[in-house]
Amino acid sequence: MAKTISRLNSTSFYACAVWFAGCTFVLLTTGCEETRPVVTYTIPLEEPDEFKSEKSRMLAAMVPLTDQVWFFKVTGPESAVELVRDDLRQFVEQVSFEGDEPKLDELPEGWRKGGKQTQFRFASINVDTPEKQLDISVSKLGRQPDWDSMVAMNVNRWRGQLGLDNSDDKWADGEPIDVAAVDDKAVWVDIVGDGSPAGGSMMGGSMSGFPSPPNRTTPNRTTPNQTTPAPSAPASPSALPPMPPPIGSVAAGDADDIPPMEPDPRLKFDRPEGWRDGRMNSMRMAAFNVGPDDRLAEITVIPAGGDLRGNVARWLGQALGSVAPEEVVDAAMEAALDVNVDGRDGKRFILSGNGEDDGTAIDATIVPMDGGMSLFIKMTGPKETLNEQTQKIDEFLKSIKLKM
């Protein structure tokens, strides 16, 4: 009996100890805890100078030569661009031309030709500075009848890229520069900005005489057969859109970094069955991919300039892989089809190289617009794919509605 009582007493003692510890814990974690005071922090809205990125600077020259305009342009951190300013200006002033092309054999010390000549860029010049390597682009564009308007359009496009508002001044604050090789006054541009476009997107409009479109964001995939623009803010009616990069070039070589965008809201159309979203950039109002992966063709809609024959000759050169003879260009001009796009008369060219089904072919429609500009609807790819898409291109052209 004594053993039993002793065991019970021991058990009760430990049970009481556990109960007491539990009560103590509850009291400490509830009734004894003090409420922490609310602390208000004041955060400055101005970004400290040490965290601000350096401003961007652009130097550019527009040099008119007969029916073409040559562009020499560099963009980069303000401090780096300052190091090449004097050399670039002197180079432009003294540049000479052989035929209708600038001679780039003799470059300033430290300059070297880089990259390959492309459809859109005649040459790239690399310049090493202590800050970073800069890329001077050399390209050309067909000259428009109204020189002052063409200059202002390009300069305002560049201003937008640097976050600056459009300028209503002559040449949008560009200034004359004497270039020994040409009779006309060339234009020099030197602008500095924060590197992001005024009012939003870096993309802006394509090269054209049309007002800049609203910002375009990632495409809405819920309506496969109809465009559904989702602008975040309306564009200023007075905004001048960007000109295209000189004939064929990817603007400033930045194409790989451009995010997906919706088709330009000023362009309405019905998408033919089987046309897939293509790669958009700041030049393109719409883009599509068609055909199987092993013979893919690309369709683009781009506002651009340049004379009709010059563009046809260039496209034939792409299809043939060499400069097109004059008689071949003449034949292509004669064979052009008459088309009508949203009440505007245009020409459609179906161009191909040698061979029956292999090789590259181009189906291009040119629709004249206001201000000496044109709308280019162009499909490029294997001949077989283009032949399969001929009827769908017809349907697409008939469906286009322009809000410009």
| CATH numbers and ranges of domains, the chain | 51-193 (no CATH), 251-402 (2.60.120.1690)
Q: Measure Cα distances from 270 to 45, 274, 291, 315 in Å.
A: 46, 12, 18, 26
pLDDT on residue 93: 94
By percentage, how much of the chain surpasses pLDDT 90? Answer: 36
pLDDT on residue 130: 84
Measured on CA atoms in the order 338, 365, 210, 65, is the torsion positive or negative? negative
Choose from 10-19, 106-115, 255-264 the range with maximum mean pLDDT. Answer: 106-115
Longest dimension (CA), the chain: 127
- pLDDT tens figures, 230-256: 333 333 333 333 434 433 333 333 333
Confidence of residue 275 (pLDDT cuts 50, 70, 90): very high
Q: Which two tokens stand for residue 35?
A: 């409420």
Three-class DSSP category at 77 = strand
